Each structure stands twice: as C-alpha cells, then as structure tokens.
Structure 1
Amino acid sequence: MALDWIGFTYAVLVSAGGITGYVKAGSVPSLVAGLVFGLLAAAGAYLTSHNPKNVWLSLGTSGTLAVLMGIRFLNSWKFMPAGLMCLLSGLMVWKITAGMMKRQHQS
C-alpha cells in the first residue's frame, strides 16, 4: 500500500490556507471551508492510498476547489490566496486524471 503523499500534502495546504485566512483576516468562512475541504482532500488521499482506482473523492474535491477559487481569482485578479489555490487544485486534477489515463492504458 503506497501512501498518496501528494494528496495528503495538498490536504494540509488547503487546511493551512483556511487557518491562515482566519488568523490574518478573521474570516470564519475561510476557516470552515479550509477545514472542510482539507478533511475531504485527506479522506480522498486515504481512500486512494488503499485503492488507487478510488480517486473520485479526491477528484471531486480538487475539481470543486479549482472552479471556486478560479472564479474568485477572476473576480479579484489577486494571486493570493485564490490564484494559488486554483493553481494547486488544477495541478491535483491534472495529477489524478493523468493517473487514471495511465492505468486505463495499462489494462
């Protein structure tokens, strides 16, 4: 069983972003969203670690964050934090879909 270290790192970064938003700006919605999405990302990484084909929670979490933070970035044109989270989430979507395609071609 190989751990999904990239997925767990992403989950920590998402949670840390929510905590940072709360500490710097007092934003309770940032804290709640960061912790909820971080928990979902960690659960997705755990599921993927046990079964590499079980990527749907990770894909849904990172895809949702990519879209939501992409919209926030386009509205504000501020890279931090929305642009960074959109970029990281987009990279996670790319990693997951590339792994799915690789497994599909190996079968």
Structure 2
Amino acid sequence: MAIDWIGFCYAAFVSSGGIIGYVKAGSVASLVAGLVFGVLAGIGAYLISQDSKNVWVLLGTSGSLSVVMGMRFLNSWKFMPAGLMAGTSVLMVGKIAMGIVKGPHQS
C-alpha cells in the first residue's frame, strides 16, 4: 500500500495550526482542537495507507473542519486562520472524493 503523504501533511498542518493559535493568542481551545483534529487526521491517513478504501476517519475529520471553519470564515471574512483551514479542508475532502470515485489502484 502507498503511504498517504498528503493526509499526513494535512494532519501536521492541522496540529500546527492549533499550536500556532495557542502561541500567538494564548487560545487553549485552539490548541486542544488542533491537536485532537490533527491526531484524528493522522489516524485517518494511517488507515488510508493500510487500506485505500478506509477513508471514513479522514473524510469525517476534514469534512467537519470544512464546515466549522467555513462557518467561522463566513461570519468573520478573515482569511487567517478560518479561511485557510476551511480551504485546505475542502481540498482534502475533494482529494478523498476523487480517490473514492477513481477507486483503488490495481497492483
């Protein structure tokens, strides 16, 4: 099975966003949410690396972040951090959806 490098990079991005939110603004909520969602995204990337059909954890994580951060962006119209995270999460959902439509690679 191929390693889902994009999924692992997304997980690192989400986690680092929570850490940056804590460092810059002292937001414990950002730290906790970033680490929880980052770990879930990492687990999802690991599961996809093991079985390309097992997309549900990463899809749920990135889909949830798309909705939550998208709503925050629409309420504030501030690109950082809500718009960036919503956009990245939407791209991740699109990547997963394309993988579902294309199906797993035949080896």
2:65 paired with 1:65:
yes
Q: Which residue of 2 aligns with 1:92?
A: 92
* One-letter amino acid of the structure 1 residue matched with residue 33 of structure 2: A
State the TM-score, normalizing by the size of structure 2. Answer: 0.96
Deviations 1:12-46 (A, max 9, x none): 00000000000000000000000000000000000
Task: Give the Å deviation of 1:86.
Answer: 0.2
Q: Which residue of 2 aligns with 1:103?
A: 103
For structure 2, which runs of at least 5 residues remain unmatched after alignment? none
Task: Give the Å deviation of 1:47.
Answer: 0.3
Distance 2:17 2:76 in 1: 17
| Length, aligned pairs only | 105
Distance 1:81 1:72 in 2: 9
* One-letter amino acid of the structure 2 residue matched with residue 41 of structure 1: A
Q: Which residue of 1 aligns with 2:38?
A: 38
Task: Give the Å deviation of 1:75.
Answer: 0.7
CA-based RMSD of the aligned residues comes to 1.1
Q: Which runs of 4+ in 1 moved over 4 A?
A: none
Task: Give the Å deviation of 1:84.
Answer: 0.2
